[in-house]
Amino acid sequence: MAEGQNLDIDLVRRYALTTWGFKQGEMVSLMIHLGHRLGLYEAMDGAGPLTAGELASSTGCHERWLLEWLRCHGAAGLLTTEDGDVFTLEAEAAAVLARRGEPTYTAAVFATLRPREVVDGLADAFRTGTGLDYDGQGEGSEHAVEAMCGPMSRALLVPVLLPLLDGVEDKLKAGARVLDVGCGSGLALELMADAFPASTYVGYDPSVRAIDTARERFADRDNISVVRAGGEEVPPSGDVDLVLTMDCLHDMPRPDRTLTAIREAVTDEGTLVVKEIRSSPHWSANLKNPVLPMMYATSVASCLSSAMSDHDTLGLGTLGLHPERLAELTMEAGFTRFARHDLDDPTNIYYEVRP
């Protein structure tokens, strides 16, 4: 909070939610455009309750992509659903979204929300199942990620989160080996290196744009380096003290392989910190999230797209790595201890994972 000001925290939260609501509208509008473009509303009009698999059969689109799109619409109130698995386009909604001859038809008005090549790529992904990686999601995507995640990272990472981790601050002060897997443009590396200059830091990210930005950012820093590589390519050195994956495991095609690589990189006394989206395996619990439509829309436009940008993927998407799934994947990778840190972050949960 601003220094020297006594702010009404409830009012701050109200303004924040109002502002994010406008972002949510932008993202859901993109989903409406994709539904219009792919003929999904027409396919649902008069068809009654449908699953993603049934809609895939009638449209030729990929079931996993359709499920995320349907859940976005269910969360936004544009489709009706009781369980997040079966969806209905009501006749009144069809008059707005599906029936092009009606004066109430509106679905065609959202055609210029993203660069044409990005929207073309997303539409193709519904047909092929293969999404866009972050470099394919448009120029400036690396800066957009930091703009969304950066404020909370600055507020919590060094002053709040790191002191909670058993023994980690002492190691960082003395000089630890630190990896940031999915480092993006390098903000977390910068924050830690500023606070703990005796340690050495390496960032891994597959994005050309993000790594180029990070290399420019750290051109004068001797203790920070970055590597253009996916998380599964982390070397099995066994000598790393701390690894971070900050809001990115769910974006990876094979987070299970990344976790296995991380386990082989850390010492037996090492620590893995995972920052992940608050989510639940249960539709009713997720509905408590006031920006759930934006979460599913962001998944289609970005997170699921990245997670399915290769073959043989887990395809988790934005809400796909809930605590139960993450605990399961970390145990399968060879970790044995799993602790949850619930900080003052409305979007994310933080996990302390150890061998």
* Count of alpha carbons within 13 angstroms of residue 164, beta-carbon side: 17
pLDDT in tens, 197-216: 999 999 999 999 999 999 99
Structure token digits, residue 262: 């991380």
CA max distance for the chain = 70
Report the alpha-carbon distance of residue 218 to residue 212 in Å, rounded.
Answer: 10
pLDDT in tens, 17-56: 999 999 999 999 999 999 999 999 999 999 999 999 999 9
Contact by Cβ (8 Å): 256, 332: yes
| pLDDT value of residue 142 | 67
pLDDT in tens, 69-107: 999 999 999 999 999 999 999 999 999 999 999 999 999
E-only strand ranges, 263-347: 266-277, 337-341
Which residues pair with residue 349 across a beta bridge? 276
pLDDT in tens, 113-161: 788 899 999 999 999 999 999 998 877 676 777 887 888 999 999 999 9
Q: Sketch the domain layout of the chain as residue ranges.
A: 9-129, 141-279+321-354
Question: Considering just the CA atoms, what is the radius of gyration of the chain in Å?
Answer: 21
What is the average pLDDT across 263-279?
98
Global confidence as pTM: 0.92
Adjacency order of strands within the sheet including 337-341: 224-228, 200-205, 177-181, 240-246, 266-277, 348-354, 337-341
**CATH H-level superfamily of 141-279+321-354:** Vaccinia Virus protein VP39 (3.40.50.150)
Report the alpha-carbon distance of residue 112 to residue 338 in Å, rounded.
Answer: 44
Q: What is the DSSP letter of 180?
A: E
What is the average pLDDT across 289-312?
96
Q: What percent of the chain has pLDDT over 70?
A: 98
Give the DSSP H or E segment for 272.
Answer: strand 266-277
| pLDDT value of residue 3 | 53
- In terms of phi and psi (left: phi > 0; alpha: psi -120 to 50; beta: otherwise), the region of 187 is alpha
Q: Which fold has domain 9-129?
A: Arc Repressor Mutant, subunit A (1.10.10)
